[in-house]
Amino acid sequence: MPSTARVFIDGEAGTTGLRIRDRLRALPVELVSVPAEHRKDPHARRDAMAAADLVVLCLPDDAARESVALAAGLGKAAPRVLDASTAHRVSHGWIYGFAELEAEQPAHIAAARHVANPGCYATGAIALLRPLVDGGLLPPDEPLTINAVSGYSGGGRAMIEAHERDGGPAFELYALGLEHKHVPETQMHAHLSRRPLFVPSVGHFAQGMLVSIPLHLDRLTGQPRGADLHATLAAHYAGTRVAVLPPTSDAKLSAEALNDTDAMELCVYANEARGHAVLVARLDNLGKGAAGAAVQNIALMLGLPNASAEAPSRG
């Protein structure tokens, strides 16, 4: 690898691609680009891949699969690949790009030829669930409902234009066919044996995200208290950029408090008298939920430092 690593973003004109490009200015990398009029030309893209050490895919799933095949066609000269689509998040041979998943995950990402960037909702849900399942507090077959709200920037160009041009709805549920594309990766990487119910929603704000998971404590292994759940999460994420915090004093959380950062906050709200708890993850769907996670993975794959934005005060 040359002293300055070369990165080609296939799909750089989209929301995630543009944000990754902007963030890469803070890293010692050289960007390889294809002229706008040739971005769909497979020969031009193949030449860009051949000139790159790492290719980042910011494409729809089918197009991402085609790009992976295009890169593989370069044989021994094939670059490493980071895929920001859904296409490879549960695929054999791909490393899941959630660096805080377990202690060994950064090393796995650093050594991988192919890394799948996580989905934004899945990042929050897995962050909450995986340590509790692995720690024996949450049965893998527990019937779970995952609720989430995201800013409209996560909904793609049509949704962004609708909200910014016409105002859009104040709030709406979606994916009520219960087949959201983030469910398979959530189930696999949270080590769940039962498929969770996932109910996403979008609010009339540009970015920010809350993922919440209600629990009946008396159903859980050993009937843990909220403090036990908190302690397990805190131990797992000690020394990482994921913060495990006590509940806010007013028992409220704003979805937008971590906007423009790569931070993620987890907390446990518990009512011990009722035997109820709610796990909550807060993140920027465009930061740790997308471009921020991608740049974190790029830095790991290329052996580079990764400067991330600091989190603002809670609220």
How remote is the C-alpha of 271 from its chain's centroid? 29
pLDDT band, very low/low/confident/very high, at 309 (cuts 50, 70, 90): very low
CA distances from 253 to 42, 68, 182, 280, 315 (A): 46, 40, 23, 9, 6
3-state secondary structure of 20: helix
CB atoms within 10 A of CB 82: 28
pLDDT at 14: 85
**Residue labelled with tokens 């934005």:** 309
Is 254:157 a contact under the CB 8 Å cutoff?
no
**Residue labelled with tokens 């189930």:** 187
158 φ/ψ sector (left φ>0, alpha ψ -120 to 50, else beta): alpha
pLDDT tens-digit series, residues 108-128: 999 999 999 999 999 999 999
CA distances from 70 to 183, 230, 292 (A): 28, 45, 26
71, 120, 137, 253: the active-site residue: 120
* Nearest alpha carbon to residue 259 among 163, 155, 183, 151: 151
Handedness of CA 294, 299, 302, 303 (dihedral sign): negative
267 is catalytic: no
Mean pLDDT over residues 8-24, rounded? 92
39 versus 267: the higher-pLDDT residue is: 267
Is 149:206 a contact under the CB 8 Å cutoff?
no
Is 148:211 a contact under the CB 8 Å cutoff?
yes
**Residue labelled with tokens 């993975």:** 297
pLDDT tens-digit series, residues 219-254: 998 999 999 999 999 999 999 999 999 999 999 999
| The two structure tokens encoding residue 103 | 């202690």
> How big is the chain, counted in residues?
315
Q: Which domains does the chain have, with CATH numbers?
A: 5-118+290-302 (3.40.50.720), 120-287 (3.30.360.10)
Relative to beta strand 242-244, strand 209-216 is unpaired
Radius of gyration in angstroms for the set of CA atoms belonging to the chain, rounded to a whole number: 20
pLDDT at 8: 97
d(CA 126, CA 107): 19
pLDDT at 1: 45
CA distances from 218 to 144, 278, 280 (A): 14, 13, 19
Relative to beta strand 80-83, strand 95-96 is unpaired
CA distances from 92 to 88, 132, 189, 191 (A): 8, 25, 13, 16
Is 186:140 a contact under the CB 8 Å cutoff?
no
Mean pLDDT score of the chain: 93
pLDDT band, very low/low/confident/very high, at 313 (cuts 50, 70, 90): very low
pLDDT at 310: 44
User: The pTM is what?
Assistant: 0.94
3-state secondary structure of 33: coil
**Residue labelled with tokens 């397990």:** 232
pLDDT tens-digit series, residues 271-302: 999 999 999 999 999 999 999 999 999 999 99
d(CA 96, CA 114): 9
DSSP 205: S
pLDDT at 81: 98
pLDDT tens-digit series, residues 53-98: 999 999 999 999 999 999 999 999 999 999 999 999 999 999 999 9
